[in-house]
Structures are given as C-alpha cells and as structure tokens.
Chains A and B, each alone.
Chain A
C-alpha cells in the first residue's frame, strides 16, 4: 500500500532492509519507522491491550499514546511509530506490560 505517484510529494525511500515480525521475514526501507514499514506490508495490528488483550493499531504516530508499543530486539514497550527500522530487527507483538531486564551496576 505504498504511494507511488503523488501530485505534490516525492518519496525518496532509503535502502531496503530486512526485518522479522513474529517470526516472519519482511522488507521495509531504512529511514521509515517500524510501524510505517509494518503498515506498508498490510500489518495493522501492532499490539494488544494489557488487560483485555484487545488488538491495537497505532493512533497518534508521534510517540505519545502507547497504542503501538511492541517488543523490539527483546526490549518491551518500544514506541514503533517513532522508532526507525534497522536491518535485522526482531519485532514482536507484546503481550502484557513487558519486563525490562536491567543490569544492576
């Protein structure tokens, strides 16, 4: 669902990168956000609500509403609407609040 011709804008997409979403390999472009790359492949359900496990997509796209939080490279609660896609990223649906493993120094 990428826009190819636009009357005003030109999209200079970066280099293609590969990433994994729930075990499935997908492609996106460097420079776009994780949520945008997922959306482009038709994946709209990004997370689920903590208690009732209702499916959630993104809402504000400015890193404010937490609707798009996912587990990225093992780190929970990553705001995928503002986090840039990197080659080889492992992106997973987050179940529950997520656990942060802090290294105590």
Chain B
C-alpha cells in the first residue's frame, strides 16, 4: 500500500492545474493518467484559446500543455507522476486501485480529486457505425498528433465551436470539407470561427441533419435532410453528398464511471452534458474527500477546466491540512475568472446547469 496526501486522477487541463495548485499549497500529490503522456486533449488542440490572458488566451492548446507541464515541474519534489496507469476503483475505505503497466497497485490518499474529462457523444442515424464516421476529437488526434488525414472529403456534423474549429483544422491539413450541418436553426459556436470557414467556401447548413449514411465496408455517401420548426424531417428535402468521412461533433459527455462507482450522488443535467456529480461550492462531491474538477463535473471549455482545477486543487489541499499562504486571494481570483468565463448569454446554459448541481455544505 502506498500512502499519499492527494491523488489526482486525470492529467488533462483540470488535473494538471489542480496538481499544481495543491502542490503549491504544500500537499504531496500523486498524479495518475491512463495515457502515456500528460496533457489530456490539449495535445491536439492547434487553435488559439479564447478567454483572458489568465487562461492563456491567444496561445495554442498544444503550447498551453507545455506551459502547464513546465509549471508542474517546479514542484518536482512534491508531485509524483504515474502515467500509463488506469484507476480501477475507489473503495469505501478510501483506497484506490490502479492498473499500472499490468501491475496491480493500491494507494491510500487522504483525498482524491477526479478530473477524468469527457468523451465524444454519438448521433443516432442508420449506419452510424460505418467506418469513416468518427468523433471530431478523434479526427483531431489523427491529424494533429499523428499527421494523418482521416480521408478525402468530410461532412462535419455540429456547428458548435469544436465542429467549426476542427473543420478549419481539416482544411489546414489539406482535407476537403463538403459542408457543416447542424440540426439547430442557428450556429452554436463563435461567429468568428464560422466566418473563417465560410470565407473558405464551406457551406454551413443550419436546420439540417443526417438522414442516413451509405456504404458497404466504409462510408461512401451521406444523405441529409432539412428539419422543420418542430425538428421533423421535411419531405423531399434530401441532399446527397459523396464523403468518405463524417465527423460527429454534437457535444461531449462526462467520463463519470469512477465517481458513480465510488457511490457519489449523481444528477442528470443536460446543460452539463449528461450525468454529473452533485457537489458543494468547494468542489467536494457527496462523498467526503472526493473532489471533482473540469469536464467530468460539467462539460465546458478547457479554459474553465483549468481554472476549476486550480480552485478545486486549493480546496482539496486545504481539506487535508495544506492551506495555501495566499488562499483567500487566489480562490477569490479563480471565482472571478470562472464568473467571467461563464458570463453573458453564451454562459447562461452552464450557469443554469451549475445551479442544479451545487448544493450547500451539510
């Protein structure tokens, strides 16, 4: 059995920031990630971030990962990193078990912070399992991490920020984008991204959805149809496109398996991407000593995942006796940053989702 102060599960933006934050508070941290490298999905994000300077706006995601890893390095004496390590379970006595390189190890932390992120949702239509139909994130990995084109011609489903950004990245990689479709009557992502791809001649079809995919062994064609104001297909509105790739970008859903398994109270909140843990204002779930941060507690942008990570890291460290010397100042600043990121009409959905899961300390 290995004893640690704080175990952070997941080394993406939220996990990295919480490890930095907890270590800077004086806590020893065991940072666990199932991948070979830390950084989560930042490592494939070639676009420049929004938000403010504090969340590294105007810096590309791939470089933000490098900055965070560099920051983490300053706490070499406090942070132990375990990569290629999959957490298998969290037990009633607080022990967590890990598959580390085919070895079974047990760790007993004083507190756990779960930052396991989210995974691509799927969309239901006939033949949606054909090879060539990929999550937008998967296509990003293939192109931006490994330098491989997903195919020749792509239909992007979903005009949110990810759909728009990945469409642009596909063109940067030399892949044709036939169109972007979204069932909603309006473009969901930032108009600056939408204009960029419109200028490159890609049509954005709002109020359209996929009727079916066609192909034998892999995708060869897609049939689209227009939806009326009640989201029902309009007769005779078919459009056929010859594409060998469909990118699905209809949102993400939190990877909450561990939180559910640990027995934390969960709630279905569509605004946050699905089933998420109920938590107090200090990012603690209904199980004492189990904290959450980032997409796993509600799907948002990486910018807010980072700030949540810093904040939850402070709280988790404080709960086990390591209060940061600038705790009040820092926590207040992170709250202000989160409020700013979630302000305005664009943030209303997230704000209403969070209102549903945050409850007072009992």
Q: Please give the residue numbers on chain A whose beta carbons come within 8 Å of chain B beta carbons, in ascending order.
A: 1-3, 5-9, 11, 13, 32-33, 36, 39-40, 44-46, 49, 54-65, 67, 81-82, 84
B137 close to A9 (CB less than 8 A): no
Query: Quick check: is B55 within 8 A (CB to CB) of the other chain?
Result: no
A56 shortest CB reach to chain B, Å: 6
**Can you list 30 A-B pairs, Cβ within 8 angstroms, ordered by A?**
A2-B147, A2-B148, A3-B148, A3-B149, A9-B46, A36-B146, A39-B148, A40-B148, A44-B218, A45-B131, A46-B131, A55-B131, A56-B129, A56-B131, A57-B130, A57-B134, A57-B218, A59-B120, A59-B135, A59-B138, A60-B120, A61-B135, A61-B137, A61-B139, A61-B141, A62-B41, A62-B119, A64-B119, A64-B255, A84-B36
Contacts of A65 in B (CB 8 A): 119-120
A6 interface neighbour in B131, B135, B147, Cβ under 8 Å: B147
Query: Quick check: is B60 within 8 A (CB to CB) of the other chain?
Result: yes
Q: Which residue of B lies closest to A38 (CB)?
A: B148
Q: Which residue of B lies closest to A1 (CB)?
A: B149
User: In the complex, what distance in Å separates the CA atom of A60 from the CA atom of B253?
Assistant: 12
Query: Quick check: is B35 within 8 A (CB to CB) of the other chain?
Result: yes
A21 shortest CB reach to chain B, Å: 15
Whether A58 contacts B138 in the complex (CB less than 8 A), given A6-B147, A45-B217, A46-B131, comes out as yes
Q: Which residue of B lies closest to A32 (CB)?
A: B146
Contacts of B148 in A (CB 8 A): 1-3, 36, 39-40
Contacts of A61 in B (CB 8 A): 134-135, 137-139, 141-142
B147 close to A11 (CB less than 8 A): yes
Interface string of B121-146 (1 = CB under 8 A from A): 01000000111111101110111111
Q: Which residue of B lies closest to A47 (CB)?
A: B131
User: In the complex, what distance in Å separates the CA atom of A61 from the CA atom of B150?
Assistant: 12
B247 shortest CB reach to chain A, Å: 11
Contacts of A40 in B (CB 8 A): 146, 148
Query: Quick check: is B347 within 8 A (CB to CB) of the other chain?
Result: no
Contacts of A1 in B (CB 8 A): 148-149, 151
Query: Quick check: is B174 within 8 A (CB to CB) of the other chain?
Result: yes
B49 shortest CB reach to chain A, Å: 14
User: In the complex, what distance in Å separates the CA atom of A57 from the CA atom of B139?
Assistant: 12
Whether A60 contacts B138 in the complex (CB less than 8 A), given A8-B172, A36-B146, comes out as yes
Contacts of A49 in B (CB 8 A): 129
User: In the complex, what distance in Å separates the CA atom of A64 from the CA atom of B136?
Assistant: 14
B122 close to A59 (CB less than 8 A): yes
Interface string of B168-186 (1 = CB under 8 A from A): 0000111000000000000
B119 interface neighbour in A33, A45, A60, Cβ under 8 Å: A60
A3 close to B173 (CB less than 8 A): yes
Q: Which of B54-79 contact A (CB under 8 A)?
A: 60
User: In the complex, what distance in Å separates the CA atom of A24 from the CA atom of B218?
Assistant: 20
Query: Quick check: is B226 within 8 A (CB to CB) of the other chain?
Result: no
B131 close to A9 (CB less than 8 A): no
Contacts of A54 in B (CB 8 A): 129
B141 close to A6 (CB less than 8 A): no
User: In the complex, what distance in Å separates the CA atom of A8 from the CA atom of B132?
Assistant: 25
Q: Which 8 A-B pairs give the minimum distances between C-beta atoms?
A: A57-B131, A61-B138, A11-B147, A36-B146, A1-B149, A61-B141, A3-B147, A44-B131
Whether A60 contacts B137 in the complex (CB less than 8 A), given A9-B46, A45-B218, A55-B131, comes out as yes
User: In the complex, what distance in Å separates the CA atom of A11 from the CA atom of B36?
Assistant: 18
Contacts of B173 in A (CB 8 A): 3, 6
Q: Which residue of B lies closest to A64 (CB)?
A: B119
Other 13 A-B pairs with CB < 8 A, given A39-B142, A45-B218, A62-B138: A1-B149, A3-B149, A9-B144, A36-B142, A57-B133, A57-B218, A59-B120, A62-B119, A62-B141, A63-B35, A64-B255, A65-B120, A81-B141
